[in-house]
Chains A and B, each alone.
Chain A
Amino acid sequence: MKKLACLVSVGAHPVSHEARYSRNDGLALGLGLSIANAQNMALEVLHAGNVESPALLDYLALGANNIKVLPVSDDANILDSLVSELNNTDLILLGTRAEFDEDSGLLPYLLAEKLQIPLVNHALDIDLKDGVLEILQFLPKGKRRRIRVTLPAIVTVHPLASIKTNYVFAKKVSGKITSLANAYQATGLAIKQSAWTMQANSRKPNKLKAREHVSAHARMLSAISSESKSGVVVNEGTSVEKAQVILTYLREHYLIDF
Chain B
Amino acid sequence: LSQSHLKRINPTRPLKPNQAGIKRIVLSTRENPAIQKSTTKPIRTPVNVNQKILVILHSDNGMLDAHARQSIAAAAILADIETAVVVLVLGELREELAEAGADEVRVIPQLDYLHYQPNVELACVDAVIADIEPVRILMPDNFIGDGDLGRRLIAKYSNRTAATQVVEINATQIGCYQKGGSQLGVMQLPDIVLIAADAAESKLPFVGAAVQKDCTNLFQTHLPSDNPILDLGLEKLAASDIALEEADFVISAGNGVNRVDTFMQLAKVLDAAIGASRVAVDDGKFSRDKQIGATGKTVSARAYLAIGISGAVQHLQGIKDCRHVIVINRDNSAPIVKRANLSVIGDAEEVMHALITLVSEAKLNKERTPE
Contact = CB atoms under 8 A, between A and B. Distances in A.
B230 interface: yes
B343 A239 contact: no
Main SS at interface, chain B: mixed
B363 to A, nearest CB: 5
Contact of A239 (B155, B239, B351): B351
B302 to A, nearest CB: 6
Nearest to A96: B147
Interface stretch (A26-34, A38-46, A100-108, A167-175): A100-108
B229 interface: yes
Interface in A231-257: 231-235, 238-240, 242-247, 249-250, 253-256
Interface string B174-217: 01111111111111101000000011110111100000000000
Given A205-B168, A210-B203, A142 B116 contact: no
B170 A206 contact: yes
B362 A113 contact: no
A213 B332 CA distance: 37
Interface stretch (B47-55, B240-248, B278-286, B287-295): B240-248
Contact of A233 (B167, B332, B355): B332
Interface string A217-232: 0100110111111111
Q: In the complex, which of the residues B74, B144, B303, B346 has the most CB atoms of chain A within 10 Å of its own CB atom?
A: B346
B235 A17 contact: no
A201 B181 contact: yes
B89 interface: no
A225 B354 CA distance: 39
B163 A104 contact: yes
A134 B235 CA distance: 14
Contacts of B363: 258
B358 A11 contact: no
Given A211-B205, A247-B362, 12 more contacts: A17-B179, A103-B178, A104-B163, A106-B151, A192-B154, A198-B183, A200-B183, A200-B184, A209-B203, A233-B332, A244-B354, A253-B303
18 contacts: A99-B180, A102-B185, A109-B155, A118-B119, A134-B232, A140-B246, A192-B162, A195-B188, A197-B187, A199-B175, A201-B182, A205-B168, A205-B199, A232-B341, A233-B343, A239-B347, A247-B358, A249-B326
